[in-house]
Amino acid sequence: TTLKMDEWSDEFFVYEASYHFYQVPIPPSVESVEVVLLPEDGDPDMYLSFDIEYPTGHNYDYVADAIAVDTFSLSRSQYGFCGSAGRDANCTLYIAVMAYES
């Protein structure tokens, strides 16, 4: 599975019914984020939050759970960007990837 965001990417394996977590710093100069999850096998889902350090399938702000490729995008002008810190703030995007089929 590959997780991509702008110029950054990471390839990893997630065992079925387990999570892989990321923390992505978002400086005020970043106008928008787009996260793409490219599964090599199985059907992983992404759970995201600006406020929940370890989002899960039961506790998250955003979810991307399409079959195959999952994409999440949000711009600073949209409600919820940077969560409780406020859309003009320096913040962190917390991402959890969960595998449903290994």
Give the start-to-end residue ranges of the domains of the chain: 2-98
Amino acid at site 19 = Y
Question: For residue 89, which of 48, 53, 50 has the smallest C-alpha distance?
Answer: 50
42: how many CB neighbours lie within 10 A of its CB? 14
pTM: 0.87
- Which residue carries 């394996």 as its tokens? 13
What confidence category does residue 39 fall into, taking pLDDT thresholds of 50, 70 and 90? Answer: confident
Look at residue 9 in the predicted model and tell me its pLDDT. Answer: 76
Mean pLDDT of 15-34: 90
**What is the pLDDT at residue 99?**
84
Evaluate if residue 5 carries a pLDDT over 70.
no
**Residue range 41-52: average pLDDT?**
93
What type of residue sits at position 8? W
pLDDT at 82: 98
